[in-house]
A and B are shown apart, each in its own frame.
Chain A
C-alpha cells in the first residue's frame, strides 16, 4: 500500500465520519416529521461558532467550551423546532419545508450580521495537531479522534434507539404518529428529543470540522449540509445506519476520487450530486432504505 494512499484513506474516513454525524440528523428528522430540515447545515455552522466563542471570548478551557457548545446547539435545534415547525404540525408538508428554508436563511444572515462574514480561524488546540507516524506516514491525531468519537456516539445512539423505552417510542412515532399518541406517548416531547439528538451530533461533527479544517465562516454549513442530505438519501432516508453508510460513501468517494484524478479537483463538490442523481435513478429508496411511505 503506498503511503499516500494511506494518507488519503485516513482523510476520507475522517470526512466520511463527519458527514455521517450530520447526515444522521437529516435522516432522524425526516423519519419523524417527513421533513427535510434545510436548517440542519446551519445548525452545524452555529455549533462551530459556539465552540469558537467559548474558547476565544469566554476563555473557557477547550473541553468545557466544547461541551457548552454542544448543549447550546442542542437547545438551538430544539428551539427551532418549537418556534418554526411545531406550529405547522397540521399544515401541509410544503409549508413545513418553506419554514425550514426560512430558518436556514435566518441563521445564515444572523451569523453574517452578528459574527461578521469574514472567515475566522478556529482556535488551535495543540493536542489535536500532534502527528503520529503510521507506516511511514505522518497522521494528525485529529484524524484518529474523529472516527473514534463518531463510533462512540453512533454506538450510544443505536443502543438508545434499539434497546430503550425512549428509542421504542421514537420508532413508534416515526412509524405511526397517531397510534403512538393512542399508546399515551407524548409525541411532541419525542419530536423535541429527536431534534436535540440530531443537533447534538451536528455540533459534535461541527467542532471536529473546525479543528480539522481550521477555518469557519457563516456559509460553511451550506455545502456540507447539502452533501449530508445527499448522504442520507443515498443511504435510504429515515434509516440511521443508512445515513452512516451514505456519509462514508460520500466522504471516502470524494477524497479518493480527487486523489486518483487530481485534475478533477474542481469537481469535488459535484461528486455528491452526481451520486444523488444516480441513486435517484437506479435505487430511489437508497441503499438501506425500504419503501418510502408518504405520511398521511
Chain B
C-alpha cells in the first residue's frame, strides 16, 4: 500500500536518512524501531510532506506522492499521530476532533466517526468541552489518536504513541491500535517500546542512524539476539 524506495533526507549537511526501503502492505501493522536520532520521525515527516527528501521515491497505492503537499497527502487517506501528541491546547477536545476532519464534508459520516472515536475513548466524550491543553498526557494521546481517526485514514502513522505514559495506559493504547487495525486501518507504528510494538506487529524494521539494518516478522525480531540486546534491554554475552 505504502512503499518507500531508497529515500534520502538531509538537514543542512547532516544526512538523517541514508537511502531506506520500506513497505507497508494493506491491512497490516508495520513497526519501525530504532534508537534516538535514528531517523524514525524524519521518515514519517517526509511521507507526510513536511520534510523534502533529497532523493528516493514514496508511492501510495501505486501513485508517486514524493514531495506532494501535506493537504493532498491527508486527502489521499494518510494521517499522522505526531511525536509528542501535538494537540491544539486552546481548542476544545471536540474542536480538536473536528479539525481532524478538516478536509471532509460528509457531515453525516463525520458524526458517525465522532461516535466511534468516543466509543474507543469514552474519556474524551466526558471531556468534549474541556480545553485540550488541560488534559492529562494519556488523555492527550487518546485525543491525538482520535483526531487522526477523524480524517478517515486508510493508513495511520503513529510516532511513539507510548512515550511518557504509564504502563497501564500504554497497554490500553496498544490494544486500541489493534482494534483500529481490525477496523481496516493500516498502521505504521514507530516505537522505542520495541517489545510491545513487535508483539502486535506483522512486520518490523530496525533503523540505525539513517539505515535499515534489520527487517523481519515481528515475532522473529523479538527472538533476534541483536534486537534483544539493543532494544529489549536483555543482556547478551559480551563480545571482545
CB distance from A86 to the nearest CB of B (A): 14
Check A168 against B70 for contact (C-beta < 8 Å): no
Of the candidates A168, A175, A181, A183, which one forms a contact with B50 in the assembled complex, judged by CB atoms under 8 Å apart?
A181
Interface SS majority for chain A:
helix
Q: Which of A162-193 contact B (CB under 8 A)?
A: 165, 168-169, 171-172, 175-176, 178-179, 181-186
List the A residue with the shortest CB-CB distance to B85.
Answer: A179
B56-97, CB under 8 A of A: which get 1 and which 0? 000000000000011100110001101000101111000100
Q: Is the beta-carbon distance between B102 and A185 smaller than 8 angstroms?
A: yes
Nearest CB on A from B46, distance (A): 13
Which residue of chain A is the closest to B98 with respect to CB atoms?
A: A168
Known: A182-B48, A184-B75. Is A169-B89 also a contact (CB below 8 A)? Answer: no
Contact residues on A (Cβ < 8 Å of other chain), bracket? 10 to 19
A165, A169, A184: most-surrounded residue (chain B CB, <10 A): A184
In contact, A168 and B95 (Cβ under 8 angstroms):
yes
Interface status of B232 (Cβ within 8 A of chain A) = no
Of the residues A165, A178, A184, contact of B71 by C-beta under 8 Å: A184
A-B contact count (CB 8 A): 57
The answer to whether A182 and B80 touch across the interface, beta carbons within 8 angstroms, is: yes
Q: Are B82 and A183 in contact (CB-based, < 8 A)?
A: no
CB distance from B67 to the nearest CB of A (A): 14
Q: How many residues of B contact A (CB 8 A)?
A: 24
Nearest CB of chain B from residue A91's CB, rounded to whole Å: 14
> How many angstroms from the CA of A162 to the CA of B147 in the assembled complex?
19
* Residue numbers in B under 8 Å from A178 (CB-CB): 50, 82, 86
Which of B74, B88, B90 is packed against the most chain A CB atoms within 10 Å? B88
Is B100 positioned at the interface, with any CB of A under 8 Å from its CB?
yes
Q: Is the CB of B86 within 8 A of A185?
A: no
**Given A168-B91, A168-B95, A183 and B100 touching (CB < 8 A)?**
yes
User: Would you call A175 and B89 a contact (CB within 8 A)?
Assistant: yes
Are B99 and A168 within 8 A (Cβ)? yes
A176-B86 in contact given A171-B91, A181-B50 (Cβ < 8 Å): yes
Question: Assuming A175-B90, A176-B86, is B99 touching A169 (CB within 8 A)?
Answer: yes
Name 13 A/B residue pairs within 8 A (Cβ), A-sorted: A168-B98, A168-B99, A169-B102, A171-B88, A171-B90, A175-B90, A176-B86, A178-B82, A178-B86, A183-B147, A184-B102, A184-B103, A185-B102
Q: Knowing that A181-B48, A182-B82, A184-B71 touch, tell me 8 more A-B residue pairs with CB under 8 angstroms.
A: A171-B91, A176-B88, A178-B82, A179-B82, A182-B48, A182-B70, A182-B80, A184-B103
